[in-house]
């Protein structure tokens, strides 16, 4: 036990590195997870998420770096403990239960306790995943969501110090998924396990993570709370990973960049440097055309610019309206909650929530 007030790191990964056939797949990756914390490793397909998880699990050997679980070196400095000696729980997309065993036997599978202690733990976990009374059933008698919960109970039964989950919900249909995610999160929190959850779905990471580690090309490019990663992305690609984004290009002069939406503060960019002002569709505001005029400028939203509707799409929770802007024909997309379906060709005015803009050096 630690005496300090900061929560002790349950999982500590330092400079983890792995290449396949000379191609680096995980490069100098470090991360720390405390007890009871969920970190989502989020990134596009092929960026090295599963490889990272597999090295922590002990089914893949790192080329370099070290891994500690509960302060104990499990990989690095010449040592490499097998998965069963690491106190990790594993849950993958194809979590295959043992078909010939009952639910209770599946959950008890990794337990070394005596009969009674085993039965108590199984009951406790089935209760926790809302499957009380299911112990005698076989996997084929369960729905996909129920099987998923059994798999969770099975992974948690031996009280692993660290839970490693690789896209554990991607086999479930949408309707089930949110409920299962919430149950899973509750159970993991109750157990106080440190969790590393791999996903390529931003929504899942935002929903599940205390922290998001955004990964690209084998590296973690940004770490932070879901709020921070979403609202203060490190670059355009990080912003664009969470939603479509609009990009307005300009040139910084005297720490200002002129755009059709007025001047933006762009401090820290050299004179003449091309910059990109990036904004999510929900932070564009739409206003009506009043005989060729738009709304008056405001300090928070700057100047309005006019565009014509190219098309509008209804997506259920929101409508997406695509504009061709008068000033240069460029396309911008605004999202409006609920139903807003103006006809193509309708002139409308757009304003930009300035506090929601991100300014980056232009990417070539």
Ligand X SMILES: Nc1ncnc2c1ncn2[C@@H]1O[C@H](COP(=O)(O)OP(=O)(O)OP(=O)(O)O)[C@@H](O)[C@H]1O
User: What residue ranges bind ligand X (CB under 6 A)?
Assistant: 20, 25, 43, 45-51, 200
* Closest approach of Mg ion to the CB of residue 198, in Å: 6
* Closest approach of ligand X to the CB of residue 29, in Å: 11
Scan residues 45-64 and list those touching Mg ion (CB under 5 A): 50
Q: 162: Cβ–Cβ under 8 A, 6 or more apart, which residues? A: 10, 11, 33, 56, 69, 86, 87, 88, 89, 193, 194, 195, 196
What's the distance, Cα to Cα, between the start and end of the chain in Å? 50
For residues 321 and 332, the answer to whether their CB atoms sit within 8 Å is no
Given Mg ion, ligand X, none, residue 25, with its beta carbon under 5 to 8 Å by kind, binds ligand X
Nearer to ligand X by Cβ, of 4 and 45: the residue is 45
The residue sitting closest to ligand X, measured at its beta carbon, is: 50
* Closest approach of Mg ion to the CB of residue 217, in Å: 14
For residues 166 and 93, the answer to whether their CB atoms sit within 8 Å is yes
Given Mg ion, ligand X, none, residue 46, with its beta carbon under 5 to 8 Å by kind, binds ligand X
- For tokens 């070394």, name the residue: 112
Given Mg ion, ligand X, none, residue 202, with its beta carbon under 5 to 8 Å by kind, binds none
Nearer to ligand X by Cβ, of 20 and 98: the residue is 20
* Closest approach of ligand X to the CB of residue 272, in Å: 38
* Closest approach of Mg ion to the CB of residue 133, in Å: 35
For residues 242 and 230, the answer to whether their CB atoms sit within 8 Å is yes
Q: 23: Cβ–Cβ under 8 A, 6 or more apart, which residues? A: none
Count of CA atoms in the C-beta half-sphere (13 A) of 324: 7
Given Mg ion, ligand X, none, residue 51, with its beta carbon under 5 to 8 Å by kind, binds ligand X
In 3D space, the residue among 245, 238, 325 whose CA is nearest the CA of residue 282 turns out to be 245
**CB neighbours (10 Å) of residue 191?**
17
**DSSP label of 326:** T
Given ligand X, Mg ion, none, residue 260, with its beta carbon under 5 to 8 Å by kind, binds none
CA distance 211 to 364: 30
Nearer to ligand X by Cβ, of 48 and 233: the residue is 48
The reply to whether 222 sits near Mg ion by the rule CB under 5 A is no
Given ligand X, Mg ion, none, residue 40, with its beta carbon under 5 to 8 Å by kind, binds none
Given ligand X, Mg ion, none, residue 277, with its beta carbon under 5 to 8 Å by kind, binds none
* Closest approach of Mg ion to the CB of residue 72, in Å: 26
Of 42-50, 266-274, 277-285, 309-317, the segment contacting Mg ion by CB under 5 A is 42-50
The helix or strand, by DSSP H or E, that contains position 24, with its residue range, turns out to be: strand 23-34
In 3D space, the residue among 176, 216, 187 whose CA is nearest the CA of residue 42 turns out to be 216
- For tokens 């991607």, name the residue: 170
* Closest approach of Mg ion to the CB of residue 164, in Å: 12
Binding-site ranges for Mg ion (CB under 5 A): 50
């Amino acid at each position: 036990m630690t005496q300090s007030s900061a929560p002790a790191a349950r999982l500590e990964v330092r400079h983890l590195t792995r290449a396949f056939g000379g191609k680096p797949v995980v490069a100098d990756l470090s991360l720390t997870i405390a007890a009871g914390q969920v970190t989502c490793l989020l990134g596009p397909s092929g960026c090295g998420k599963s490889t990272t998880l597999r090295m922590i699990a002990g089914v893949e050997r790192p080329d370099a770096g070290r891994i500690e679980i509960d302060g104990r070196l499990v990989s690095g400095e010449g040592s490499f403990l097998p998965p069963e000696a690491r106190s990790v729980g594993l849950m993958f997309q194809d979590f295959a239960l043992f078909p010939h065993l009952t639910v209770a036997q599946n959950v008890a599978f990794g337990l070394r306790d005596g009969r009674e202690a085993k039965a108590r733990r199984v009951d406790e976990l089935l209760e926790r995943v809302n499957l009380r009374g299911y112990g005698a059933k076989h996997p084929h008698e369960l729905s996909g969501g129920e099987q998923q919960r059994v798999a969770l109970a099975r992974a948690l039964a031996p009280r692993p110090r660290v839970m490693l989950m690789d896209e554990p919900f991607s086999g479930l249909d949408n309707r089930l998924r949110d409920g299962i995610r919430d149950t899973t999160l509750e159970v993991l929190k109750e157990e106080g396990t440190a969790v590393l959850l791999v996903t390529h779905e931003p929504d899942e990471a935002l929903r599940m993570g205390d922290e998001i580690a955004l990964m690209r090309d084998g590296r973690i490019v940004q770490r932070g709370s879901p709020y921070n990663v979403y609202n203060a992305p490190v670059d355009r690609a990080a912003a664009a990973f969470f939603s479509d984004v609009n990009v307005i290009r300009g040139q910084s002069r005297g720490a200002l960049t002129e755009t059709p939406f007025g001047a933006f503060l762009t401090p820290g960019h050299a004179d003449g440097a091309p910059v990109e002002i990036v904004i999510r569709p929900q932070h564009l505001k739409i206003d009506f055309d009043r005989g060729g005029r738009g709304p008056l400028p405001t300090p928070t939203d700057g100047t309005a610019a006019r565009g014509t509707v190219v098309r509008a799409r209804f997506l259920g929770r929101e409508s997406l309206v695509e504009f061709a802007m008068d000033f240069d024909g460029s396309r911008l997309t605004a999202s409006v909650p609920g139903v807003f379906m103006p006809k193509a060709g309708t002139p409308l005015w757009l304003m930009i929530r300035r506090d929601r803009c991100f300014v980056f050096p232009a990417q070539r």
